[in-house]
Amino acid sequence: MRPKIAVRISGHNNNFGDVVGSAIARSLYGGPVIEIRGRCPPPVGTRTYLVAGSTIRKANRGAVIWGAGVLDFTDKNIERRLDVLCCRGKLTKHFLEGLGIGCPERTGDSVLIAPDVLGYPEKTREHRLGVIPHSNENADSYRSVFGDAAYVIDICSGVREVMSAVASCEYIASAALHGIVIADAMKIPAAWCCLREPRWPAKYDDYFSSVSTETWRPIRIGSCSTDSLVDAAVNRAKTVFVEDAKDALLKSCPWR
């Protein structure tokens, strides 16, 4: 039997961008996987993996980075003794290298391979536009803006539930980073939107750097129509290429 491993996740809720990392690890590893949250230390003798989310700031000594990224690019209080197989984007790569931490050249967010690893949801296209609030936002605020014109998806409803909900839409507009990532993985055109200015915009730029040469700014909800969001999703999709990032992740996978 394979030894137990730990996957560090960031939050204390069921945010898709956090818990999908442990789901991917369980599917690929084939042995026991436990979740550790925040800065909780792993059990003695257990290797820790950071698979998704902006979790590197909470990494313990010897942790393996595979698809995770940095949240605050001014915070240098980060463990230096890390095993970086693949980090989320070029901003994380350059930041870690500036701290003397070696990183491979290619980057990618591990959630890009979630549909392949966990099972690709059938695209039902029941809804024209799906809108995904950030996990810290009130979904009712989005519903009051869109009414019946958009399908509001709860990013904390569970891994399978989020993937199925995204697959039911022709287009996605998301305030949650991993709402954009999973849409990109499914080749569903996605735009970055927000109700208010995002607190950590650099993590979005970090991800975008791994799949596009373009930079994008969020579209403010309330100041645009659903057609504008769809147009933005279509225009962004023309610049997104996920295959290199997926290839980098698969070739660097710690459980091949």
Which pLDDT tens digit goes with each residue over 191-206? 999 998 888 999 999 9
Domain membership of residue 188 as a residue range: 116-243
CA 146 to chain centroid: 25
- Using DSSP's 3-state secondary structure scheme, residue 180 falls into helix
**Do 104 and 137 belong to one domain?**
no
**Do 35 and 128 belong to one domain?**
no
**Do 77 and 166 belong to one domain?**
no
**What's the whole-number average pLDDT of the chain?**
94
What percent of the chain clears pLDDT 70, i.e. is strictly above it? 100
**Do 217 and 120 belong to one domain?**
yes
Distance (Å) of CA 202 to CA 91, 175, 207, 218, 235: 8, 13, 9, 12, 21
**Do 120 and 235 belong to one domain?**
yes
**Do 161 and 144 belong to one domain?**
yes
Query: Does residue 12 have a pLDDT over 80?
Result: no
Count up the domains in the chain and report the number. 2
Closest residue by Cα to residue 64 from 46, 39, 91, 40: 46
**Do 232 and 124 belong to one domain?**
yes
Cβ–Cβ under 8 Å, residues 177 and 156: no
Tell me the pTM. Answer: 0.96
The CATH number covering residue 147 comes to: 3.40.50
**Do 82 and 180 belong to one domain?**
no
**Do 169 and 67 belong to one domain?**
no
**Do 167 and 197 belong to one domain?**
yes
- Cα(190)–Cα(192) distance, integer angstroms: 7
**Do 106 and 46 belong to one domain?**
yes
- Cα(26)–Cα(28) distance, integer angstroms: 6
CA angle, residues 73, 59, 66, in degrees to nearest 5: 85
Query: Over the stretch 62-100, which tens digit does the pLDDT of each residue have?
Result: 999 999 999 999 999 999 999 999 999 999 999 999 999
**Do 100 and 203 belong to one domain?**
no
Q: What is the mean pLDDT of residues 225-247?
A: 96
